[in-house]
């Protein structure tokens, strides 16, 4: 048996390596075609910068400190807006999810607000809050409130009724049932909402940083557009994509830790 395993391991190892990394081959092939096309002037660099130009610009912005400066500003706006959205959306979900009276009072109005295209509210936000940091943060907060609200509300209402009955059987108080049964049962849905809210936060920020901004990744992209610097525009888009991926990975890691009791969570 040991001999068979020893013989099979060198054969299976290249196969495992190929299976692990083959998912990266299509994007690498696409980058190669893109670079070759740009080198042959099939893709004008004035319209679409080549991957090598983008990489050179990316490292240039990092070495000069300009990218870091704009990144810190954008992260601060997202952090502030997302924090407000989580608090407001979570509070509203608790009120409507745990109380029929709260649902009757608030849910209809929230559903109407949710269907409004919040990016179209930019002119009103400028009128109400001016052109400083407040409308930028408010736009991110508004965009992230509803994913948190909807998913947490659905999670609370989706808790198994048998678990609540078991809590009553064990003579748990109403607050204990909420704390030990309802909220832990709604946590998976809330974390899904948080992942969605991160994506909406970056989308909101792109628009928010067009409101008389003097810094931020969105400002960097808009300034590059005026000078037809497609390399800087693509660097900004790549940064947004990496930030979104990083935020999603953080929430996924959090899921693995706080939901370790769930049998559906895969272990490495």
Q: Which domain holds residue 102?
A: 51-258
Nearest to 34 by CA among 22, 43, 47: 43
Question: What local confidence, expressed as pLDDT, does residue 179 receive?
Answer: 83
Q: What is the CATH number of the domain that holds 239?
A: 1.10.3720.10
166, part of any domain: yes
CA distances from 78 to 4, 20, 25, 81 (A): 55, 34, 33, 5
36, part of any domain: no
Question: What local confidence, expressed as pLDDT, does residue 3 receive?
Answer: 46
Do residues 228 and 186 lie in contact, with contact meaning Cβ atoms separated by under 8 Å?
no
Mind listing the pLDDT tens digit for each residue in 164-190?
A: 888 778 877 878 888 888 888 888 888
Do residues 112 and 151 lie in contact, with contact meaning Cβ atoms separated by under 8 Å?
no
Nearest to 84 by CA among 30, 170, 148: 148
Residue 88 and residue 86: Cα distance in Å, rounded? Answer: 6
Residue 236 and residue 194: Cα distance in Å, rounded? Answer: 23
Write the secondary structure of 5-34 as one string of H (helix), E (strand) and C (coil): HHHHHHHHHHHHHHHHHHHHHHHHHHHHHH
Mind listing the pLDDT tens digit for each residue in 80-138?
A: 999 999 999 999 999 998 888 988 888 888 888 888 887 778 888 888 888 788 888 99
pLDDT band at 263 (very low <50, low <70, confident <90, very high): low
Give the total number of structural domains in the chain. Answer: 1
73, part of any domain: yes
Nearest to 204 by CA among 88, 110, 91, 80: 80
46, part of any domain: no
29, part of any domain: no
How much is the pTM? 0.77
84-118 in b/e form (b: 16+ CB < 10 A) is bbbebbbebbbbbbbeeeebeebbeebeeeeeeeb
Question: What local confidence, expressed as pLDDT, does residue 91 receive?
Answer: 93
207, part of any domain: yes
The residue behind tokens 């959205």 is: 85
45, part of any domain: no
CA distances from 69 to 88, 187, 219 (A): 29, 35, 12
12, part of any domain: no
Question: What local confidence, expressed as pLDDT, does residue 23 receive?
Answer: 67
Please report the DSSP string for 114-147 in residue order: HTS-GGGGHHHHHHHHTTSHHHHHHHHHHHHHHH
Question: What local confidence, expressed as pLDDT, does residue 152 receive?
Answer: 92
CA distances from 17 to 57, 115, 154 (A): 33, 47, 41
């Amino acid at each position: 048996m040991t001999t068979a395993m020893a013989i099979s391991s060198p054969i299976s190892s290249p196969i495992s390596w190929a299976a692990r990394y083959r998912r990266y081959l299509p994007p690498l092939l696409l980058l190669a075609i893109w670079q070759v096309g740009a080198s042959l002037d099939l893709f004008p660099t004035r319209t679409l910068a080549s991957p090598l130009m983008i990489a050179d610009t990316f490292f240039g912005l990092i070495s000069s400190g300009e990218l870091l400066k704009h990144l810190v500003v954008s992260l601060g706006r997202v952090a502030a807006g997302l924090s407000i959205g989580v608090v407001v959306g979570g509070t509203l979900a608790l009120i409507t999810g745990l109380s029929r009276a709260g649902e009757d009072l608030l849910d209809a109005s929230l559903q109407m607000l949710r269907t409004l295209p919040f990016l179209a509210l930019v002119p009103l936000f400028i009128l109400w809050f001016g052109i400083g940091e407040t409308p930028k943060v408010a736009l991110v907060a508004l965009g992230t409130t509803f994913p948190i609200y909807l998913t947490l509300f659905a999670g609370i209402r989706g808790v198994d009724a048998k678990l609540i009955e078991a809590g009553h059987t064990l003579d748990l108080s109403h607050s204990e049932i909420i704390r030990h049964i309802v909220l832990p049962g709604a946590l998976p849905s809330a974390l899904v909402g948080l992942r969605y809210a991160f994506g909406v936060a970056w989308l909101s920020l792109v628009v928010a940083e067009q409101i008389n901004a003097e810094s931020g990744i969105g400002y960097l992209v808009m300034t590059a557009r005026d000078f037809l610097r497609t390399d800087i525009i693509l660097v900004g888009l790549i940064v947004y994509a990496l930030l979104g991926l990083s935020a999603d990975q953080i929430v996924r890691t959090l899921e693995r830790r706080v939901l370790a009791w769930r049998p559906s969570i895969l272990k490495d």
